């Protein structure tokens, strides 16, 4: 077989660029990308981290993963915009559609990155760079945002390549380029190496990827068990995984929120569960899937977390169903301690086109699904705040909570 | 000669003990923090040995003949005990307890296993103020197996996790409902019994159906306010009842149907079973399309693994249909139906369908449709 050609397409500060493009298209004159700006939660409500920031913000020392509070104290004029999940999915889908014109083998790795397999088209290294340049240009012109494209013979190296200089660049990282382009990098830059592993590696005197690559594999196995093998292979650019286009994009959908005050009573907790269920339900319906497993997780003021989950007999994406199950789970597990964070997640997703009808009170189910549909329609058209449930009035709790997905593997673009 | 001591001692036939422990074991708790509930109580009385297990939901007490040497009782972990007894060679088993150790010997084997203090073992509740009726074991088995699969697994509506049992006008009826389907089955009993009903936990019924033997030997059923008791020749099973109002199952069955299809049960079942092949194990919620065209019934399913089309010659009375259903629900019912010819009734608009015998009303299965 010919050498494989794999592209890794990574959107540059995705959430921020998408938001900027969206604003420009809707009549704003300011391009967020040209000023210090960031996507993140809200300071007042003591929650949220910076999810993405503009290049000017980066220059001022704003980092992804930083708390909003920290960022604002460093740069008070920073423009903060809230995350908009629906927009991200829309942009991500648009990118995938464009890429599929070039190869059917496109894998959405996370909402802002994907892999594309171009093997077997008779493209060599130089031609692949030309092609990547053309794709990058088209994305910029047609979709309005910039991407980095990494090119190599496997997913791992392609991904490493796209992490090189940003934004709006094409990089190659073929195996013969490893000693020059990858090995001098610190190990923490390598895919799959987190803070913990990194510190452990430092302890053994391994600072660069090159040192890791040259370390005896057996020795790594002693230190890291089977993971040592993976580390060694990655450092040497070995990866055989396939680009999987039929990979289910999402395994589960969930949202969580850190509350602006400690929650100490069931009534308030219910409001948060409802606002989270609203978001989760909306997202399930947007993806046209139904979930069978509902899970609630809680974190108390001492930062201890715990969770309960339950498998319901028939999959659902109705906000009400999710909410009711969430309340039940909550009562099952809550011992009255003050809570600082709550989350609702769903799992075990199936096709949302089918509805198993009840033999008893079918009308109720139909009405609820119609209601959800109408509310979704109004919200997509006139914004999420166009219609809200009465219980949230003057409650101090946002009627939809958990703006950012916490289920796509976010890889390097988020901590 | 019988002597009183702190231990007990008896001998009995290995096969008798094997059978007894197999039955009693079903009432022992599987995973619990109360280790006493995972035990079997072995009690040597003057004239027999009593084995008892109790998981607080249901309990079984079994009497077996034995040669008693010393009376007394001991508790021992049921899984270990039954494993030992099951693996023993034939012949006579001799069991004795001393302090907290149980000695089991049989031919060339000798076990010493740890027992438990006996005073914490829960007592089997007495079933008081009870109604009573008698039914053959095989009939009861049929009643349970024909309806138990429809019992809800959903713990949020407790009452539906039970199997409804009703005695009325010379019939016993069992009903299982899980909101999306319903199974009703009846059998004849003596007309003399008073009318009454109860909801027995599904788990109890499942275990009971495994104990029942395919014989016309009768079981006596006592239904009290809170418990039910199934009395066999040498053992009894007592279970708590579920409290609350069961659904009005008769009211759920639609009265009129636009379409009635007469079909061959075996052929229909085979077709349905074949459609299950293409259902991916990770996503079991794919529906089948059932449609008619004159005298042909079409069954179709399409999943990402592939598709299946089945056609069957049938008699259709009424309008042609095109409805989607969960094929698993059909397969469950068809597996327990005995008639060769059955009726499939439904309405053209999306609504539940029923499967029933051509004549009579010994059983009825109601299945909710799937909207696409």
Per-residue pLDDT reduced to its tens digit, A323-356: 999 999 999 999 889 998 899 999 888 877 788 8
**Shortest CA gap B352–chain A (Å):** 6
Q: Do B180 and A313 touch (CB under 8 A)?
A: yes
Least confident among A278-292, A359-373, B131-145, B254-268: A359-373
Identify the closest residue of chain B to A366 by CA–CA distance.
B371
CATH number of the domain within which A200 lies: 1.10.150.20
Domain B254-367 belongs in CATH node 3.40.50.1220: no
The pLDDT score that the predictor gives to residue B18 is 93
Structural domain boundaries in chain B: 9-114, 131-251, 254-367
- Parallel, antiparallel or unpaired: strands B196-201 and B218-223: unpaired
Helices (H) and strands (E) in chain B, counts: 7, 27
- Give the whole-angstrom CA distance, residue A326 versus residue A332: 10
Fold topology of B9-114: DNA Polymerase III; Chain A, domain 2 (3.10.150)
Contact A255, A343 (CB under 8 A): yes
Assess whether pLDDT exceeds 60 at residue A46.
Answer: no
Are residues A311 and A383 located together in one domain of the fold?
yes
Identify the closest residue of chain A to B248 by CA–CA distance.
A360
Interface of chain A toward chain B, CB-CB under 8 angstroms = 246, 290, 312-315, 325, 328, 350-351, 353-360, 362
The pLDDT score that the predictor gives to residue A248 is 55
Q: Do B371 and A351 touch (CB under 8 A)?
A: no
Cβ–Cβ pairs < 8 A, chains A and B: 62
Of B154, B326, B372, the CB nearest to A312: B154
- A136 found inside a domain: yes
Domain boundary at A176, A202, A222, which?
A176
Q: Do A313 and B352 touch (CB under 8 A)?
A: no
Q: Do B367 and A359 touch (CB under 8 A)?
A: yes
- A137 found inside a domain: yes
The pLDDT score that the predictor gives to residue A249 is 56
Question: How far, CA to CA in Å, does A414 sit from each of A13, A58, A64, A406?
Answer: 10, 14, 6, 10
Q: Do B285 and A315 touch (CB under 8 A)?
A: yes
**Shortest CA gap A381–chain B (Å):** 25
**Shortest CA gap B369–chain A (Å):** 5
- Give the whole-angstrom CA distance, residue B153 versus residue B204: 13
Are residues A54 and A192 located together in one domain of the fold?
no
The pLDDT score that the predictor gives to residue B118 is 64
Q: Do B371 and A314 touch (CB under 8 A)?
A: no
Q: Tell me which residue of B214, B78, B202 sits closest to B151, measured CA to CA.
A: B202
Instruction: State the SS3 of B188-204.
Output: ECCCCCCCEEEEEEHHH
Of B178, B285, B370, the CB nearest to A357: B370
Which chain A residues touch B369 with a CB distance below 8 Å? 357
**Shortest CA gap A341–chain B (Å):** 25
The pLDDT score that the predictor gives to residue B348 is 73
Q: Do B180 and A353 touch (CB under 8 A)?
A: no
CB atoms within 10 A of CB B270: 13
Q: Tell me which residue of B119, B122, B124, B24 sits closest to B81, measured CA to CA.
A: B24
Residues of chain B with pLDDT under 70: 1-6, 117-118, 282-284
Give A75-126 pLDDT, tens digit per residue.
Answer: 888 888 887 777 888 888 889 888 888 888 888 888 888 999 988 888 887 8
The pLDDT score that the predictor gives to residue A70 is 82
- Give the whole-angstrom CA distance, residue A39 versus residue B106: 76
A113 counts as catalytic: yes
Q: Do B179 and A359 touch (CB under 8 A)?
A: yes
- A400 found inside a domain: no
Assess whether pLDDT exceeds 50 at residue A413.
Answer: no
- Give the whole-angstrom CA distance, residue B35 versus residue A175: 60
- Please pick, among A107, A113, A163, A325, the residue that the annotation labels catalytic: A113
Which chain B residues touch A328 with a CB distance below 8 Å? 156
**Shortest CA gap A325–chain B (Å):** 9
The pLDDT score that the predictor gives to residue B282 is 67
| Sign of the four-CA dihedral B225, B231, B234, B238 | negative
CATH number of the domain within which A74 lies: 3.30.70.270
Identify the closest residue of chain B to A324 by CA–CA distance.
B156
A317-348 burial, b for 16+ CB within 10 Å, e for fewer? bbbbbbbbbbbbbbeeebeeeebbbbbbbbbb
Are residues A147 and A256 located together in one domain of the fold?
no
Assess whether pLDDT exceeds 80 at residue A385.
Answer: yes
Identify the closest residue of chain B to A356 by CA–CA distance.
B370
Q: Would you list the DSSP string of A220-282?
A: HHHHHTHHHHHHHHHHTT---PPP-TTS-S-S-EEEEEEEEEEE-SHHHHHHHHHHHHHHHHH
Of A314, A350, A354, the CB nearest to B180: A314
Provide ipTM, 2 decimals: 0.76
Q: Do B372 and A351 touch (CB under 8 A)?
A: no
Are residues A210 and A122 located together in one domain of the fold?
no
Are residues A257 and A203 located together in one domain of the fold?
no
Are residues A285 and A360 located together in one domain of the fold?
yes
Are residues A207 and A153 located together in one domain of the fold?
no
- Give the whole-angstrom CA distance, residue A336 versus residue B204: 35
Fold topology of B131-251: DNA Polymerase III; Chain A, domain 2 (3.10.150)
**Shortest CA gap A242–chain B (Å):** 20
* C-alpha dihedral, A184 to A186 to A189 to A194, nearest 10°: 150
Of A313, A351, A353, the CB nearest to B153: A313
Would you place residue A411 in the very low, low, confident or very high pLDDT band (cuts 50, 70, 90)?
very low
Q: Tell me which residue of B264, B257, B228 sits closest to B319, measured CA to CA.
A: B257
**Collapsing DSSP states into helix, strand and coil, what is residue A156?**
helix
CB atoms within 10 A of CB B306: 9
Are residues A113 and A165 located together in one domain of the fold?
yes
Interface of chain B toward chain A, CB-CB under 8 angstroms = 152-154, 156, 177-182, 247, 252, 283, 285-287, 304, 324, 326, 350-352, 366-372
Would you place residue A415 in the very low, low, confident or very high pLDDT band (cuts 50, 70, 90)?
very low
Domain boundary at A129, A156, A176, which?
A176
Identify the closest residue of chain A to B366 by CA–CA distance.
A359
- A8 found inside a domain: yes
Asked whether the domain spanning B254-367 has the same topology as the one spanning B131-251, the reply is yes
> For residue A189, which phi and psi values (nearest 5 degrees)?
-80, -10
Are residues A206 and A301 located together in one domain of the fold?
no
What is the count of structural domains for chain A?
3
Which chain A residues touch B154 with a CB distance below 8 Å? 312-313
Would you place residue A412 in the very low, low, confident or very high pLDDT band (cuts 50, 70, 90)?
very low
Which chain A residues touch B152 with a CB distance below 8 Å? 313
Domain of A91? Answer: 1-176
- A410 found inside a domain: no
The pLDDT score that the predictor gives to residue A275 is 92
- A107 found inside a domain: yes
- Parallel, antiparallel or unpaired: strands A37-40 and A79-81: parallel
The pLDDT score that the predictor gives to residue A361 is 66
Which chain A residues touch B180 with a CB distance below 8 Å? 313-314, 356-359
**Greatest pairwise CA separation for chain A in angstroms:** 69
Which residue is listed with tokens 């994406």? A317
Which chain B residues touch A313 with a CB distance below 8 Å? 152-154, 178-180
Q: Do A359 and B372 touch (CB under 8 A)?
A: no
**Shortest CA gap A390–chain B (Å):** 27
Contact B53, B24 (CB under 8 A): yes
The pLDDT score that the predictor gives to residue A407 is 37
Which chain B residues touch A360 with a CB distance below 8 Å? 179, 247, 252
Selected residue of B152, B157, B161, B180 to mutate for chain A interface (largest A Cβ count, 10 A): B180
Give A166-218 pLDDT, tens digit per residue.
Answer: 888 899 888 888 888 888 888 888 887 777 788 888 888 888 888 888 888 88
- Mean residue pLDDT of chain A comes to 83
Are residues A63 and A196 located together in one domain of the fold?
no
Of B152, B180, B287, the CB nearest to A354: B287
**Shortest CA gap B298–chain A (Å):** 19
Q: Do B368 and A357 touch (CB under 8 A)?
A: yes
Q: Do B156 and A314 touch (CB under 8 A)?
A: no
The pLDDT score that the predictor gives to residue B173 is 96
Where would I find the beta strands (DSSP E) of B232-369?
Answer: 235-240, 259-264, 288-293, 296-303, 306-313, 315-318, 322-325, 341-346, 353-357, 363-367
């Amino acid at each position: 077989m010919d050498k494989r050609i794999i592209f890794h397409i990574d959107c540059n500060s995705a959430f921020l660029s998408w938001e900027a493009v969206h604003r420009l298209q809707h009549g704003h004159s300011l391009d967020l990308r040209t000023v210090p700006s960031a996507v993140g939660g809200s300071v007042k409500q003591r929650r949220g981290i910076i999810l993405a920031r503009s290049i000017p913000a980066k220059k001022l020392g704003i980092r992804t993963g930083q708390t909003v509070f920290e960022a604002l104290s460093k740069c008070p004029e920073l423009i903060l915009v809230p995350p908009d999940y629906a927009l991200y999915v829309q942009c991500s889908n648009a990118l995938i559609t464009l890429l599929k014109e070039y190869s059917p083998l496109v894998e959405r790795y996370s909402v802002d990155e994907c892999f594309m397999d171009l093997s077997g088209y008779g493209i060599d290294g130089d031609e692949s760079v030309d092609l990547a340049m053309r794709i990058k240009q088209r994305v910029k012109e047609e979709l309005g945002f910039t991407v980095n494209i990494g090119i190599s013979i496997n997913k791992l190296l392609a991904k490493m390549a796209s992490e090189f200089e940003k934004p709006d660049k094409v990089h190659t990282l073929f195996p013969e380029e490893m000693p020059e382009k990858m090995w001098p990098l610190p190990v923490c830059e390598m895919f799959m190496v987190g803070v913990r592993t990194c510190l452990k590696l430092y302890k053994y005197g391994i600072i660069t990827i090159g040192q890791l690559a040259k370390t005896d594999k057996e020795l790594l196995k002693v230190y890291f068990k089977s993971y040592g093998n993976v580390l060694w292979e990655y450092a040497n650019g070995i990866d055989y995984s396939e680009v999987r286009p039929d990979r289910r994009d999402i395994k589960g959908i969930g949202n969580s929120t850190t509350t602006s005050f400690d929650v100490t009573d069931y009534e308030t907790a219910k409001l948060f569960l409802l606002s989270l269920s609203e978001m989760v339900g909306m997202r399930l319906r947007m993806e046209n899937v139904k979930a069978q497993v509902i899970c609630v997780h809680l974190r108390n003021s001492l930062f201890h977390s715990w969770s309960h989950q339950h498998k319901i007999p028939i999959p659902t994406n109705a906000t009400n169903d999710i909410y009711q199950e969430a309340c039940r789970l909550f009562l099952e597990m809550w011992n009255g301690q003050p809570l600082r964070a709550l989350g609702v997640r769903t799992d075990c997703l199936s096709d949302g086109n089918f509805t198993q009808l009840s033999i008893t009170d079918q009308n109720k189910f139909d009405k609820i699904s119609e209601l959800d549909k109408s509310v979704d329609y109004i919200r997509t058209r006139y914004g999420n705040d166009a219609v809200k449930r009465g219980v949230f009035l003057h409650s101090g709790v946002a009627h939809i909570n958990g703006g950012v997905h916490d289920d796509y593997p976010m890889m390097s673009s988020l901590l | 000669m019988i002597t009183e001591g702190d231990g007990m001692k008896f001998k009995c036939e290995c096969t008798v003990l094997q059978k007894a422990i197999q039955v009693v074991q079903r009432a022992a708790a599987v995973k619990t923090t109360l280790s006493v509930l995972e035990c079997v109580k072995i009690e040597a009385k003057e004239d027999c040995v009593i084995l008892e297990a109790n998981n607080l939901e249901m309990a079984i007490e079994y009497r077996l003949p034995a040669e008693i040497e010393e009376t007394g009782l001991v508790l021992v972990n049921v899984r270990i005990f039954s494993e030992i007894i099951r693996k023993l060679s034939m012949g006579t088993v001799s069991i004795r307890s001393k302090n907290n150790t149980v000695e089991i010997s049989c031919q060339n084997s000798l076990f010493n296993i740890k027992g438990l203090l006996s005073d914490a073992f829960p007592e089997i509740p007495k079933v008081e103020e009870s109604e009573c009726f008698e039914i053959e074991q095989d009939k009861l088995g049929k009643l349970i197996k024909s309806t138990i699969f429809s019992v809800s697994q959903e713990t949020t509506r407790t009452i539906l996790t039970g199997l409804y049992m009703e005695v009325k006008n010379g019939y016993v009826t069992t009903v299982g409902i899980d909101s999306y389907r319903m199974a009703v089955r009846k059998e004849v009993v003596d007309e003399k019994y008073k009318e009454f009903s109860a909801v027995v936990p599904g788990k109890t019924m499942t275990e009971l159906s495994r104990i029942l033997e395919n014989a016309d030997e009768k079981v006596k059923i006592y239904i009290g306010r809170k418990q039910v008791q199934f009395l066999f020749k040498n053992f009894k099973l007592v279970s708590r009842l579920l409290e609350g109002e069961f659904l009005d199952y008769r009211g759920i069955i639609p009265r009129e149907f636009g379409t009635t299809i007469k079909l061959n049960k075996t052929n229909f079942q085979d077709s349905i079973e074949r459609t299950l092949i293409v259902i991916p194990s990770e996503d079991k919620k794919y529906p089948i399309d059932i449609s008619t065209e004159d005298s042909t019934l079409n069954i179709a399913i399409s999943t990402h693994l592939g598709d299946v089309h089945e056609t069957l010659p049938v008699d259709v009375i009424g309008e042609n249909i095109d409805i989607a259903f969960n094929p698993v629900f059909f397969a469950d019912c068809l597996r327990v139906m005995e008639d060769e010819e059955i009726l499939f009734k439904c309405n053209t608009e999306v609504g539940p369908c029923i499967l029933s015998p051509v004549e009579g009303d010994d059983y009825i299965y109601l299945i909710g449709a799937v909207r696409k």
